[in-house]
Amino acid sequence: MGTVTVGQENTTPIDLYYEDHGSGPAVVLLAGWPLDGRSWEPQLHPLLAAGYRVITYDRRGFGRSSRPTVGYDFDSLAADLDAVLTELDLRDAVVVGFSLGTGELIRYVGRHGTDRLRAAVIIESLAPSFAKSDDNPTGVDAAGVAGVQDAILADRYAWLTGLVNDLLNLDENRGTRVSDDTARALWNAGAEAGGYATWACPPGWLEDFSSDIKSIDVPTLIVHGTADRILPIEGQGRRLHAALPDARYVEIDGGPHLLGVTHAAELTRELLGFLSEVAGTPDGGR
């Protein structure tokens, strides 16, 4: 529906595509990697029907946004979020981050504060850190990141097939919680992403968000699936809750990484319940 210019690479502007629907309290949805704003389709109608204004945008390199070869570190991605919030003059927004989007949200808070935020929602968290350590033995190390990047360079589309399987736990959920058609649509979205952007994001998995977490001073909901094969719950969701003990923490039983698709009803219920508490129940729902 619109674009926000966030920079330039050589002679080409870097534009972020966004959609802005509905009216009422603003809810900003940050997608995971290597997907884009379309991955929030299961949540879009319920949020609009409940009377919220819903904003999605495609991060640089993905979806319908520009595909530069610069700016895939979290400081730059958080600055992109700040540019969107500023351009749309959003106040008291509830920002919802999923997976890589949780890193953008938490780094944004660490660098830019919470003046524009009413609340935060963190789904399948990358924070406090996904780096392998004594505290996080299920995390990833530099060799693991390099292996993913090598697989992307060798055959991005074959690698993407395996990724979609693990995002959805297809061996368990195919035909019950997710159709082959939906899995194919998600594969297509990942295939449409910029090849360089897809390759450039994994080093961010080693980022440490511990200091950024300390700046979160707004009501926060943390949601994590118990069957996440990408960001295991023990090292990610539970560790983040330990770092933010005042946050509302919800575990969705059997939820894989992309639980917004497979467990859409469960996630939407938690999201709407939290929104009604922190942002009120809007009038004029559809």
pLDDT tens profile 71-130: 999 999 999 999 999 999 999 999 999 999 999 999 999 999 999 999 999 999 999 999
- Which helix (H) or strand (E) segment holds residue 173: the answer is helix 170-173
Q: What percent of the chain has pLDDT over 70?
A: 99
pLDDT for the residue 74: 98
Which pLDDT band holds residue 1 (cuts at 50, 70, 90)? confident
Q: Contact at 8 Å (CB) between 97 and 121?
A: yes
- Which helix (H) or strand (E) segment holds residue 149: the answer is helix 142-168
pLDDT tens profile 228-247: 999 999 999 999 999 999 99
pLDDT tens profile 12-34: 999 999 999 999 999 999 999 99
Domains observed in the chain: 2-278 (3.40.50.1820)
Average pLDDT of the chain is: 97
> What is the three-class DSSP state of 163?
helix
What mean pLDDT is predicted for residues 38-51?
97
pLDDT for the residue 286: 47
**Residues that are catalytic:** 99, 228, 257
Taking the C-alpha atoms of residue 159 and residue 157, their distance in angstroms, rounded to an integer, is 5
Q: Residue type at 225?
A: G
pLDDT for the residue 203: 98
- Which helix (H) or strand (E) segment holds residue 111: the answer is helix 100-112
Residue 178 has pLDDT above 80, yes or no: yes
pLDDT for the residue 282: 85
Nearest Cα neighbor of 18 from 30, 26, 35, 10 is 30
